[in-house]
Amino acid sequence: MNKNATVLVIGLFISSHGFTQGVMPSTGNYISEGGWGNLSIRQKNPEGIVFEIHAFGANAHSCQLEGEIRNGRATLESSEKEKPCLIDFQPSSRGVNVVPQTPQECREYCGMRASFDGLYLKPVRGCEDKDRQATEDKFKHLYDSQKYQDARLTIEALLNSCSTTLHRYELGAIRNDLAITQYHLGNFSGCLNTLEPYAEDAAMTTNEALKDYPPADAEAYSGILDSARTNIKLCRRKLRK
């Protein structure tokens, strides 16, 4: 093969394998790692698909966007007519990468402390919003009925399966639910292990633990921290006996 032919073959390979613009993402619901954002993609008609994004940042700031995806890209209006917000939706093996191509214009859809760009994962079965709510309702019914072993299995499965896409405040509530259930089952060391991520903050006063949190986040985390502090005390007291 001569040099020119080699260049031609390499060029064809790059063209056919490296060019991904225009690939359409699959329809469905996606959740960001850490649960700060939700992406919904659904079929609008045989020719196109539409999306919705709800993303949350610090101090209750958020982003909300919706529109149509054409050839892997959405075009949304901005305050400057000639400079739209352009967003690429890039399919990956784990989900969809959402990439704003005009970040300044796209920021108009967000509060100051929020953003929406990043990888949105296809959630594990049972980890979409409605499925998690159903599992949490089932847990509450079992717990209130004092069926603690069944309650533990239910909430533990949710924690193990969905932790990657849980928002940190929902994760905190689930850990507290599991810990108090372990307490009722006499698994006091398991209770403390479950709440280990909050042990350092729980050892501080609430004001000390929350001093660097903006107001809305401080309010959300304080409830989790108060419950964790109470549950840690209960389980430690039993272990000392």
pLDDT tens per residue across span 64-82: 999 999 999 999 999 998 9
All residues at 6 or more sequence positions from 157 whose CB lies less than 8 Å from its CB, including other chains: 126, 135
The mean of the pLDDT values for the chain is 91
pLDDT at 58 over 50: yes
pLDDT tens per residue across span 82-124: 999 999 999 999 999 999 999 999 999 999 999 999 999 999 9
- Residue 68 phi, psi dihedral angles, 5° rounding: -105, 140
pLDDT tens per residue across span 224-233: 999 999 999 9
pLDDT at 137 over 90: yes
Q: Which two tokens stand for residue 96?
A: 């969809």
Residue 207 and residue 99: Cα distance in Å, rounded?
38
All residues at 6 or more sequence positions from 204 whose CB lies less than 8 Å from its CB, including other chains: none
Q: What is the mean pLDDT of residues 142-146?
A: 99
Q: What is the mean pLDDT of residues 22-48?
A: 91
In terms of pLDDT, which residue wins out, 38 or 4?
38
What pLDDT is attached to residue 21? 54
Residue 144 and residue 40: Cα distance in Å, rounded?
34
pTM across the whole model: 0.86
What pLDDT is attached to residue 110? 98
